[in-house]
């Protein structure tokens, strides 16, 4: 059980978003939302799948009812440290969005401290493009993604560009930047 106060978990997550994701442009859409303060951070204390999925639907309803929130990062500090167990949660989350008629409205992106792409080794720098301080479910508005992609000349190249950036930075630099996210400013 993680006993870190929620505000500290959020600060670590904000540090990661600003100093890793935005700093390296791993997500070309994140900077605008971060600056505009339209990213909602929510700590989900539950350690069981069902309660986390209920929290995901609450987050969808919050997005339904609040156009000032562009995207939500659900921070899961308890119960999903095992990457395979987290992937199971992610699969259930996708199914739940479909069952609740949210498919095409919202999508879930995945971030995890031990994120490892298929056919990658755990020390592959590319994994850091999806590594976060804590397991997270990132809830995005699909319409916003589509609008943002209209302004990107080659959106299909984003993952490959991210991998190249991560490889250029190297594993030691990425590890250090990742560890720096846990500093309480």
What mean pLDDT do residues 50-62 have?
98
- In a domain? residue 123: yes
Q: In this predicted model, what pLDDT tens digit does every residue of 5-43 receive, in sequence order? A: 999 999 999 999 999 999 999 988 899 999 999 999 999
| Residues belonging to the chain | 185
- In a domain? residue 52: yes
Find, among 132, 122, 117, the residue nearest to 163 by Cα: 117
Number of domains in the chain: 1
- In a domain? residue 185: no
Per the prediction, the chain carries an average pLDDT of: 95
126: Cβ–Cβ under 8 A, 6 or more apart, which residues? 117, 120, 162, 163, 166, 167
Q: Is the pLDDT of residue 57 over 80?
A: yes
Q: Are 48 and 92 in contact (CB under 8 A)?
A: no
Q: In this predicted model, what pLDDT tens digit does every residue of 159-177 receive, in sequence order? A: 999 999 999 999 999 999 9
Domain of residue 96: give its range.
6-180
Strand partners, 43: 75
Q: Are 47 and 1 in contact (CB under 8 A)?
A: yes
Q: What is the pLDDT of residue 185?
A: 57
Burial class of 77 by CB neighbour count within 10 A (0 to 12, 13 to 18, 19+): buried
Q: In this predicted model, what pLDDT tens digit does every residue of 97-132 receive, in sequence order? A: 999 999 999 999 999 999 999 989 999 999 999 999
- In a domain? residue 1: no
Find, among 66, 64, 46, 65, the residue nearest to 55 by Cα: 46
Q: What is the pLDDT of residue 1?
A: 84
Q: In this predicted model, what pLDDT tens digit does every residue of 127-138 receive, in sequence order? A: 999 999 999 999
């Amino acid at each position: 059980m993680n006993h870190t106060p929620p505000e500290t978990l959020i600060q670590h997550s904000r540090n990661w978003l600003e100093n890793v994701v935005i700093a390296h442009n791993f997500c070309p859409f994140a900077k605008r939302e971060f600056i505009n303060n339209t990213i909602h951070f929510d700590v989900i204390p539950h350690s069981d799948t069902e309660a986390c999925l209920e929290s995901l639907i609450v987050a969808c309803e919050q997005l339904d009812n609040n156009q000032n929130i562009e995207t939500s990062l659900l921070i899961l500090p308890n119960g999903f440290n095992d990457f395979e167990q987290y992937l199971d949660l992610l699969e259930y989350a996708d199914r739940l969005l479909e069952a609740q008629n949210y498919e095409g409205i919202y999508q879930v992106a995945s971030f995890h401290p031990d994120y490892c792409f298929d056919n990658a080794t755990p020390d592959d720098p590319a994994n850091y493009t999806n590594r976060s301080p804590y397991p997270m479910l990132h809830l995005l508005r699909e319409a916003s993604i589509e609008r943002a992609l209209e302004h990107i000349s080659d959106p299909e190249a984003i993952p490959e560009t991210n991998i190249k950036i991560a490889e250029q930075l190297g594993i030691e630099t990425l590890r250090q930047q990742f560890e720096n996210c846990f500093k309480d400013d």
